[in-house]
A and B are shown apart, each in its own frame.
Chain A
Amino acid sequence: MMEELFVSGRHIEHIDPTLTLWGGPIAIYLFLGGLAAAILIFANFFFLMGKADKYVMTVKVSTLIPPVIIVIGLLLLVADLHHKLYFWQLLLNFRIESPMSWGAWTLSFIMIPAILWPLIYMKDIINYLSDRNPKCRLLKTLSWIDGMANKFKIVRMVIELATKYQKLMAYITIVLSLILGVYTGILLSAFNARPLWNTAILGPLFLTSGISTGAALLMWMSKNHHEKILFSKFDLVLIAVEIFLIIHLFMGMKAGSQVQVDTASLFLGGQYTAFFWVGIMGLGLVFPAVLEILELNRFNIPSWLPALFILLGGLAFRFIMVYAGQFSSYNIL
C-alpha cells in the first residue's frame, strides 16, 4: 500500500522538511572535545606510568593543545546558540539530566587541569621545542606565558600546589577526560527522538573514535620512534574496536524496530551509504590502518599520512552522525 503525506502550514527553516538545526559547529565541537579528552588521557596516563621524561611529547608538550581546542569548542558552542545574549544561563544552572549541561560543566571543570598541566611543564616544553626547532614562533608566546605565570604569586602558588598533588590531579583529569570523551557521544545518544543516536553504543564509539584521533595526532607530532610506534599500535587497536562498534551499531539497528531498520538503511543503501562506507570506513579507518600496518612492517610511510586520514575520518564521522541523526526520525506524521 503506497502512502502519500503532505504537510501544509509549515515550512520552517532548519526544521522542514527534515531537521538540520545542528551543523558544522556542533560536529567540530564534538570532534575537538574528543581530541582534547584523548590528549589529556594519554598525557595523564603516561605521567602516572612514570613516563613523563620518556614520552616528553605526549606527557608534556601535547598538553598545550587541549586548553586551546576546548576554548575553541566552547566558542563554537556559544556561536551556535540562537539566543546568544542569554548564554550565561548555561552557567547559572546545572541540569543533571541534560547532557548539554553536563558538557558545559565538564568542559569548564576540565579547563582547570588542562591549563595547569602545561603550566607545570612550561619550562620543559620550551626546552623541548627550542631543542628541535629554535625558530619556532610559539616559543615567544610560551615564554611570555611562563613569565606572566611567574609574575603573580598566586599563580605560582597554584602551580606549586598542583605539582605537589599532581598524581591526584592526574587521576581526576583522567576521569574528567573520560567523561568528556563519553559525553561527546552521549550528547547525541541522549536524544531518543533521533533513532540513529538512540543507542548505548554511541558513548563508547565516540570515546574510542576520539581517543583514536588523539593517538593519531600524537603519533604525527612525536619525533620519538618509540612513542610513534606505541601510538601507531594503539591506533590499530582503537580502529579495530571502532569498526567492531560500528558493525555492532548497525547489526543492532537491523535487528531493532522498524524505525531503527529504516535508520540503518540510510547507511545500507540509503543516501549516506557511499559517504559513510567509502569516506569514513574506507578512507578514515581501513586505509590508515593498512598504512600503519605497512609502517609497522618497516615500509617507509610518513606517519602524518595515516594520522591525517584518521583525523579527517574522525571529523567526517562526527559530521555524518550529526546530520544523519537529525535526518532519522520516528514516523510522526
Chain B
Amino acid sequence: MRYAMAMDTRKCVGCGDCVVACQTENDVPFGFCRDWIVENVSGIYPDTVKMHFKSERCNHCDNTPCVRTCPTGASHVIEGGIVKVTHDECIGCGACIVSCPYNARYVHPEGYIDKCTFCDHRVAQGQDTACVAVCPTTALIFGDLDDEKSPVSIALRENEWYVLAPEAGTKPQLYFLK
C-alpha cells in the first residue's frame, strides 16, 4: 500500500476550502495550518500572463529526512507511507522542521510538532481525507498507488505531472497535474 495525493492545478481555484476543512477536521489551532495555497503567476499582461494555484501539504515522502533526523523516533512512517508524529514522544527540537524542504511542519502551541497526517483516521475507515472530500473542484485526488484502479493511480497515468523540489531527493508523494 502506498498512499499518495494528486493535485490538479488546472481545476484548483485557490479557494482555501481544503485549508478550512483540515482545520475543523483536525482541530488545527488558529494561526496554524497543515495545508495552504500557493498562487503562481508568470508572464506579462496581456498575452503571456498565466496563473495557477496549488494546494500544498506534507508530501509524505518516500525518503523522509524528517523521520531520519528525528532524535526520538516521534516522527515515523506508518502503513501506506503516511508520515506521522507521536505527540508525546516529540521533544519539540525542530530537527524535523528544519529537515523538511517543504516547510510542511509547524510547532503546535502545545509544543509538539504537528503536520498533515493524510487524515489517517479517515483513510483507515475508507474515507477520503478531509481536504479531498471538501474540494469543490475535485482538484484533490487521493488513493493507493499500489492499486492501479485507485483514482490517484489513474490520474497519474492519464496526466502529466510534476513534484516539488525533486532535487531535494525526498521522493515526494504529492503530485501536481498540469
Contacts and interface: CB of A to CB of B under 8 A. Distances in A.
Q: Do chains A and B touch in the complex (CB under 8 A)?
A: yes
A95 B38 contact: no
A193 B99 contact: yes
Given A191-B65, A194-B98, A92 B72 contact: yes
Contacts of A5: 38-41
Given A100-B93, A190-B99, A12 B32 contact: yes
A14 B106 CA distance: 9
21 contacts: A1-B48, A3-B42, A9-B19, A9-B36, A10-B32, A10-B36, A12-B106, A14-B107, A81-B91, A82-B93, A82-B112, A83-B112, A84-B92, A86-B90, A86-B92, A89-B91, A90-B72, A99-B69, A326-B98, A330-B168, A332-B101
Given A2-B44, A86-B90, A93-B71, A19 B98 contact: yes
A192 B65 contact: yes
Contacts of B111: 81-86
A154 interface: no
A19 B105 CA distance: 11
A163 interface: no
B123 interface: no
Contacts of A99: 69, 95
A19 B37 contact: no
A257 B167 contact: yes
Nearest to A260: B167
Given A2-B44, A81-B92, A86-B90, A100 B112 contact: no
Nearest to B51: A4
Contact of A192 (B31, B74, B93, B101): B101
Interface string B16-57: 100100000000000111011111111110001000001010
A99 B99 CA distance: 11
B69 A191 contact: yes
B81 interface: no
Nearest to A100: B71
Nearest to A96: B68
A89 B74 contact: yes
Contact of B97 (A21, A84, A89, A192): A21
B77 interface: no
Contacts of B40: 3-5, 333
A161 interface: no
A21 B41 contact: no
B92 A331 contact: no
Interface in A61-100: 77, 80-87, 89-90, 92-93, 95, 97-100
Nearest to A188: B98
B103 A192 contact: no
A100 B95 contact: yes
Pick the most buried of B36, B44, B88, B113: most chain A CB atoms within 10 A of its CB.
B36
B38 A333 contact: yes
B16 A8 contact: yes
Most buried by B among A9, A100, A101, A194: A9
Interface string B107-140: 1001111000000000000000000000000000
Given A1-B43, A84-B92, A192-B169, A330 B38 contact: no
A52 interface: no
B71 A101 contact: yes
Interface in A11-46: 11-16, 19, 21-22
Nearest to B16: A9
A329 interface: yes
A97 B77 CA distance: 15
Contacts of A77: 93
Contact of A8 (B39, B73, B165): B39
B92 A83 contact: yes
Interface in A292-332: 326, 329-332
A87 to B, nearest CB: 5
A4 B35 CA distance: 20
Contacts of B39: 4-8
B147 interface: no
Given A83-B92, A86-B91, A330 B167 contact: yes
Interface string B76-96: 000000000000111111110
A10 B35 CA distance: 8
Given A77-B93, A82-B92, A332-B103, 13 more contacts: A4-B40, A5-B38, A7-B38, A15-B106, A81-B92, A93-B71, A95-B73, A98-B69, A98-B70, A101-B72, A104-B71, A331-B165, A332-B102
